[in-house]
A and B are shown apart, each in its own frame.
Chain A
Amino acid sequence: MADTTHQSFDPLATGSRARQTRSRSIVYLLLGLFALLYLSPLVIIFMNAFRPLEEIVREGFISLPNMLSATYWVEAWSTFCIGGTCEGVSRYFSNTLLMTVPATILSTAIGLVNGYALSKWRFKGDTWVFGLITLGVFMPAQMTLLPWAFVLGKIGLSNTIAGLVLVHTVQGISFTTLFCRNYFLAVPDDLIKAARIDGAGFWRIFRRIMLPLSPPILIVCVIWQFTGIWNEFLFGTVFTSGSNQPITSAIVAFSGSGTGERHYNVEAASVIFAALPPLFIYVIGGKYFVRGLTSGAVK
């Protein structure tokens, strides 16, 4: 795979020792500076989640802490007041979790089967079907807000987590189908032919041959869907309200309101709660994600 194999030639390893050292230093210096820029928000917010409020107000976010305390994390999780209720972000966190996990599993599972059917069982008009499904990838959410609101109302899923699961699953299938179809295209057709001659049908081939080959693209789909749905804001804001909202809406609710006293430390801890799960998933599977992303997802 492109991102793990080193090219067999290293241009910086040529020429005089002095030149090599100079070029290397420049490379590491630049990388270090960029890394600082990329990591600083993470460091800053993490630090401030442990600092007393008066210290943050006095010294701002960017300064070294004098006193550290973990109580703000507890407050953020369980007692912080958001939009009138004082239950902390735990409620919104579980809302998001209950929305993200089913929608991720559903859209990934359906995408896998779709991708398999579209890449390995060609039929008349299959490219049109694929084209239509792929168009969903590009649909701006704004075009779907009013129809979704109407549909969710009609089927009784307004202001429910289940409604958000439906919305995200339908939208997500476009992505997962695209990813899986492109991935499965690279699986040799001869394998399918051999299995058909061996007597296997559509589902047996899927279960015994395609599924065992799927982990790389499965990881891509899961990471893509999980982070995408977890981080989503617009649908959550439009289709749910109050205590049914996902965590992104909750953060905007407290941090966006200009009125009242600010609890920066508790807010920082809440923001970390909102960022942690996708970050966790990404750190675990990021290597495979990049691999999949570059091998077929964007084509």
Chain B
Amino acid sequence: MMADPSNATRPRLSAILSGWTPQLVLVPTLVAALVYVVIFSLWTIWISVSKSTLLPNMAYGGFGEYAALWQSKRWIVSYQNLFLFGTLYVVGSLVTGTLLAILIDQRVRFESVWRTIFLYPLAISFIVTGTVWRWIFHPQTGVEKALHDIGWLSAQFDWITDRDMALYVVIFTGIWHSSGFAMALILAGLRSVDADLIKAAQIDGASMPRTYRKVVLPTIWPIFVAVTVVLLQFAIKTYDLVVALTQGGPGVATTVPAIVVYDLMFQRGQIAQGAAAAVMILVALALVLVPYAIWSGIRAKREAAHHG
């Protein structure tokens, strides 16, 4: 707590300034955050209800662009894709990450090597990831070609060009990229569990899988919630991965909301509708983050009550 300098008896300018240093230091950031978070959001929201087309036109145009957006097949497909992608990507990353974390938790040799191998995709851009996996998945260059070359001529693996399967290629690649992140956090969680708890379970006669399922994993569930929220956020913002991997195709099979936003804003010159789509992304994020924030707040309060 700072001494309030405003009621100092003989205020010197330097003394006043030094008393306010922490606040002054934060002013630039505060201004930037205000502009970036508040003003930019309001601005985009206003554009979404304006008469803008190719160029911004700030006259009020009503909610027509939202209606048009929800009537476009492309947008509806992209929202459906987001749900499927988001669900499977998060679940897949969590399951893979948990499995890897448990395996590494078995006091394996060269632990840091294993961890580095599973975590390195996180350091690589979605663009690079998508490009490489496209080559691997593409029938002319990748797995199918290799299978043909070793003599299995009837082999078929063309998910990436298949309307019904292409989204699963995106999901797989997403999991490949992010499961290491889940692993790292879950592993840290596993390590924070009291070793006596595991000993007790062993003495109670629980098998290894049962020990993890019934004792260890349930105690670190808050980590799962946190990882889920972070991954859901990634999923909602997903753009680069799809652009590099499938460019939203074939057709609109793998389109996601972020791609629609870009197309509307910068390819089709429908700025207002693009802004409306961007607002919908914000809404989706809020649907995930607001409940999480409230839940965290309640938990923090409850914990404080426990200790205090």
Contact = CB atoms under 8 A, between A and B. Distances in A.
* Chains A and B share a contact (CB less than 8 Å): yes
A256 B133 CA distance: 13
A37 B53 CA distance: 46
Closest A-B pairs by Cβ, 3 of them: A231-B125, A60-B145, A294-B188
Contacts of B54: none
22 contacts: A3-B184, A3-B191, A9-B199, A12-B208, A13-B107, A23-B106, A45-B135, A62-B142, A62-B143, A123-B2, A140-B237, A146-B56, A147-B40, A202-B21, A231-B125, A233-B126, A233-B239, A248-B125, A255-B131, A274-B127, A278-B125, A293-B185
B140 interface: yes
Contact of B141 (A2, A39, A61): A61
A114 B100 CA distance: 36
A213 to B, nearest CB: 18
Contacts of B131: 251, 255, 267, 271
Nearest to A110: B29
Interface in A229-261: 230-234, 237-238, 248, 251-252, 255-256
A233 B103 contact: no
Contacts of A35: 114, 117-118
Q: How many B residues are at the interface, by size bracket?
A: 35 or more
Nearest to B41: A143
A98 interface: no
A34 B180 CA distance: 11
Nearest to A37: B176
Nearest to A256: B247
Nearest to B18: A201
Given A146-B275, A282-B120, A123 B208 contact: no
Contacts of B43: 146-147
B171 interface: no
B21 A201 contact: yes
Interface of A: 2-3, 5-14, 23-24, 27-28, 30-31, 34-35, 37-42, 44-45, 48, 56, 59-63, 110, 113-114, 117-118, 121-123, 129, 132-133, 135-136, 138-148, 150, 170-171, 173-174, 177, 201-203, 227, 230-234, 237-238, 248, 251-252, 255-256, 264, 267, 271, 274-275, 278-279, 281-283, 286-287, 290, 293-294, 298-299
B115 interface: yes
Given A117-B25, A143-B41, 9 more contacts: A24-B106, A30-B103, A48-B135, A60-B141, A117-B23, A132-B38, A135-B37, A146-B44, A251-B244
A238 B118 CA distance: 32
Contacts of B30: 129, 132-133
